[in-house]
Every structure is written in structure tokens, then in C-alpha cells.
Structure 1
Amino acid sequence: MEIQNQNPQDEELDLLDLLVTLAENWKLLIFGPLIAGVVAFGIGFVIPKTFESSSSVQVERPGSSFSAPMAASLAMSADVLHQIAPVAGLDDGLTAEEIYKKLSKRITVSVGKQDKLLNIATQAKSPEAAQKLNQALLDTLFPFSKPRGLEKKQLQMQLDSEKLRLQEALKLEHDTAANIASGKSISEATSRLYGELLSANSARQKAVLDMERRIEGLDKDDIIQAPTLPEQSIKPKKSLLAIGGAAATAFALLLFVFIRQALRTAKESSPEQAEKLARIRSAMPW
């Protein structure tokens, strides 16, 4: 069996043919993508702008069962989205599924891996509308963070009991402080008791405040970053449009040039190929 090796001179000729093709079409290959990039950049001014407002909320609290992932799921629930639909400019006649599909493209909710903050981003056609939609989502979400039913009842009973113990402990602290201030002989046990009372009462007061806040749910004090008023649009990205348009046009023109050159070569090198090309052209409507 004979193996024919390709002549290095043939490879050189193929490379020269390639360079000749590029040289003959350099204007098309350079100015074509440039014009396409400029046109794509101009189209970016026509496409409606999109603005994004962001906010962050500290959701999780010690002892609370309401977590940041729960808040994120609730923020994208049908109940919440349906309530803010009018603020987003959506028709009340839309179904819950239609509202979800539309708003899920304009609202992004995430939870920080380290800080566990609830991060909300909303998009609209104007800075004010984006900020208003973000604030509406927060205002709608906050009431859902309050405990309900049995959880609320148990938490209220625990709070009442803790307040009663705190009141008794504060009275004991006051009486002990009065005895120390009166100058009576104070034992080491009394001094130690007074110090322990101060520490315990401080911790109990903090526990009472935490339970009260759990009952009240989230509010504006939990907002780490209020909904921002964006100054610049996030879409369209004119530079990316220009680069993408130029790159796509360059690829298409390069493909066109090589195909056209291949057809010319085939026509010149073989009468049979030329006849086939002529039949293809005659069959085309243009």
C-alpha cells in the first residue's frame, strides 16, 4: 500500500492562498465588524434602560425560628408577590402564576453565606420605580415575620413569666443595694450576691428585649441597607453589545469570504464543479 506524503510546497501554497484571500478582502473584514459594532452601540441607546435597587436585612435573631432562608423563600412566595404586583405596574387581573413569572425576572433574593443577611435586588425601568418596588417588598415581607398561632401564644407566656422574674430580681437588687448604701455590716456573701444579681438581671433584661422583638417581627431597625436609588442603569450594556456585534459580524464575514473563495476555486479548477455551481445558481430564486 502506497502512502503519499503531502509536499511542503503544497502546504506553503495553501497558506499563501489563505493570506491572499485575507488580503483581497481586508477592507470588508475590518470595516464590516467596525460598522456593525458602531450600529450595535447605537442600538443600546434605543433599548429601554433597566435600573436595579438593592437592600439588606438582618433577619436572624438568637432563639428565633425565623431564619434568613425562610425569609428568602417567603419573599418570592405567591402571597407576597401578589401584594406588590400593583406597585410593579402589573394588572390585577393576572393569575398568581403570571405574576410570579413576571416578577421573578425583576426580583432577586439571596442569603449571604457568611453574614446571613437577606439581600434583595429589584429591577424597573426607572430608578424611583426600582427603589419603590424594593421598599414595597420589604414592607410586605415584614408582617410575615411575626410569630403566629401556638408559637406566638407560647412566646407571649414565656415573655410574661420572664418579666415577672425580672421584676422580682430587680426588687431584690434594689433592696441589696439599699442595705449596702446604708452602711450596715455587709458580708462577703452579700457582696457576691449583689454582683451576681447585676449580671443576671442584665442578661434577663436582654432576654426580655429579644423576646419582645421576636413577637414584633422584623421592622425598619433590622434594615442594614435601605433600598438604594440607582444612579446608573445595569442594562443595556452598550460596550458588550458593540463587542458582541463586532465579533459576530467578523466571524460571519470571515466565513463568507472563505466560502466564496472556495466556490471560485472549485469553478476555476474543474468544469464539472463549475457546471454544478451554475445549476445551483439557476435553481435559486435570487
Structure 2
Amino acid sequence: MMTSPLVLDPIIATDPELNAKPIETARIALAGKLKAAVAKDGLLRLDATATQPQAAQALANAVIDNWLKSTVPGPQDRADLEKRLSYASNALASVTTLLNTLSVDGAVSLGKPLTRGEAGTSLVGLGELQTRYLNDVLGIPRSLQGLSRDVVKQPPTLPTEPVSNKKALIAVMSTLGAGFALLLFVFMRQAWRNASQDPETAPKMARLRAAFGARKA
């Protein structure tokens, strides 16, 4: 969700370097700077990477702001939620009135006698309905507003120490070393072949082969 187009596209639109790229390429490049994962404590952790610490902090804040905006429902979802809120409010009022009436008048209000068990079951059922409608009345307005910055337990902070790049350097040097060794092998093999085809050096190369063969034996 943190790397969805709804979150990334506004950031791309304000970044000249990313905005110059095709939108899919820009999304992949920007998403590569972000890492979002749920920690063991159930909290969502967001890490942002940039050339400068302040840029990484600004990127993390922009991602959080856009993500919070994406939680605000659109027109159709808003209309559906408002209908549910209206229904839940009316139902809560009706159930609360009926529950209060039963608590005071008991079976008289229903027009028929009830056993003690039936009366208790009716009160419990109405109480569960009241709780369900109350949860809707309290929760739907929050859904209409979307999430706020209050859900952010810790704002993005700057690192206290620079991130070590030794691992990246080792990986680069290993790649360069392997490439150099491969290049040297190809060069030596080609030089050997060329020398073998030269009439002047061919006898010397033959003696070298014979010498190496004798040592191996």
C-alpha cells in the first residue's frame, strides 16, 4: 500500500528527475528507495533511502502524507458510508428505546407474557444489537475522515550515524575482480593461439607445451 500509485504518483509529479521518466519506470525507481514491513509488534515500519539524510526524511514524510490521504474514501465509498451511518444511527435509537422500555415495563410492553428465560434472551439480543450499531455510529465517521497523523507512532527521524557502505563496496570490488580475472584469461588464451600460428614462435610454443606436459606427468 505504501508503494501504490496513489502514494507514489504525487511524489513523482514534484520530482523533476523522476517526472522526466516514463511513469512505470519512475514508479519502480521510487519504490526501490522504500521498504515497508510489519514488525513483530504489529507496527508498520517504513525505511526511505536517498543520497542525503534530509532527502530521505523528506521522502518518508511525503510517503506517509500521501498514504494518509489515500485512506480518505472517494465519492462513491463516502456515499455508501453515509447511508450506513444514517441507518445505524436510526437503528441504534430504536433499539435503545426498545431496550429501555423492556427494562422498565417488561412483558407488558410486548402484549404477551414472557418467561424469565425469554425475557433475559430478549434483553441480551437487544444489547448485542445496540453494541453493534453503536460501533458503527462511532467507527463510520472515522472512516469518512480517513486516517490522521495520530496513527504515526514515531515521525521519520534522521540517522544518528552514517549508513556503512562497506558491504556495497565489497560487492562491487568482488564483481570487478571477477571481471578482470575473466578478461585476463581470455587475453592470455588468445595470445597463446596467435603465438602458436606464428612460424617463428611455433617451435618455442611446442617446446613449452612439451615441458608443461612433462611436469604434469
Identify the TM-score tier after normalising by the shorter chain: 0.5 to 0.7
Structure 2 residue 120 is the aligned partner of structure 1 residue 191: yes
Specify whether residues 162 and 197 from structure 1 end up closer, same or farther in structure 2 by C-alpha distance, changes over 3 A only. same
- Shift of residue 139, structure 1, vs aligned partner: 0.6
Structure 2 residue 71 is the aligned partner of structure 1 residue 139: no
Structure 2 residue 79 is the aligned partner of structure 1 residue 153: yes
Q: Distance in 1 between matches of 2:176 and 2:118?
A: 83
The residue identity in structure 1 corresponding to 2:58 is: K
Contact 1:80/1:141 (<8 A) preserved: no
* Matching residue of 1:126: 52
Structure 2 residue 6 is the aligned partner of structure 1 residue 74: yes
Specify whether residues 154 and 262 from structure 1 end up closer, same or farther in structure 2 by C-alpha distance, changes over 3 A only. closer
Alignment of 1:1-286 (within 5 A): 68=1, 72-77=4-9, 79=10, 81-82=12-13, 85=14, 90-91=15-16, 96-98=19-21, 100=23, 104-108=28-32, 122-177=48-103, 187-220=116-149, 232=163, 237-267=168-198, 268-269=201-202
- Shift of residue 213, structure 1, vs aligned partner: 2.8
Root-mean-square deviation over aligned CA pairs = 4.0
Contact 2:72/2:147 (<8 A) preserved: yes
Q: Distance in 2 between matches of 1:219 and 1:235?
A: 39
Specify whether residues 133 and 110 from structure 1 end up closer, same or farther in structure 2 by C-alpha distance, changes over 3 A only. closer
Contact 2:57/2:156 (<8 A) preserved: yes
- Shift of residue 174, structure 1, vs aligned partner: 4.1
- Shift of residue 124, structure 1, vs aligned partner: 0.8
- Shift of residue 140, structure 1, vs aligned partner: 2.3
Contact 2:61/2:156 (<8 A) preserved: yes
- Shift of residue 125, structure 1, vs aligned partner: 1.0
- Shift of residue 251, structure 1, vs aligned partner: 0.8
**TM-score, reference length from structure 1:** 0.51
Specify whether residues 80 and 177 from structure 1 end up closer, same or farther in structure 2 by C-alpha distance, changes over 3 A only. farther
- Shift of residue 190, structure 1, vs aligned partner: 1.8
Contact 1:107/1:123 (<8 A) preserved: no
Aligned partner of residue 156 in structure 1, secondary structure: helix
- Shift of residue 187, structure 1, vs aligned partner: 2.8
Specify whether residues 127 and 210 from structure 1 end up closer, same or farther in structure 2 by C-alpha distance, changes over 3 A only. same
Contact 1:75/1:141 (<8 A) preserved: yes
Q: Distance in 1 between matches of 2:166 and 2:94?
A: 61
Contact 1:170/1:201 (<8 A) preserved: yes
Q: Distance in 2 between matches of 1:221 and 1:143?
A: 13
**TM-score, reference length from structure 2:** 0.64
Contact 1:72/1:118 (<8 A) preserved: no
1:169-216 CA-to-partner distances (Å, cap 9, x unmatched) read 234334444568xxxx98322211111122222222223344223211
Q: Distance in 2 between matches of 1:73 and 1:176?
A: 53
- Shift of residue 129, structure 1, vs aligned partner: 2.2
Specify whether residues 186 and 222 from structure 1 end up closer, same or farther in structure 2 by C-alpha distance, changes over 3 A only. farther
* Matching residue of 2:212: none
- Shift of residue 132, structure 1, vs aligned partner: 2.3
Question: Comparing both chains, which one has the higher relative contact order based on Cα–Cα distances under 8 Å and sequence gaps of 6 or more?
Answer: 1
Percentage of matched positions with identical amino acids: 19
- Shift of residue 228, structure 1, vs aligned partner: 7.0
Aligned partner of residue 125 in structure 1, secondary structure: coil
How many matched pairs?
Answer: 185
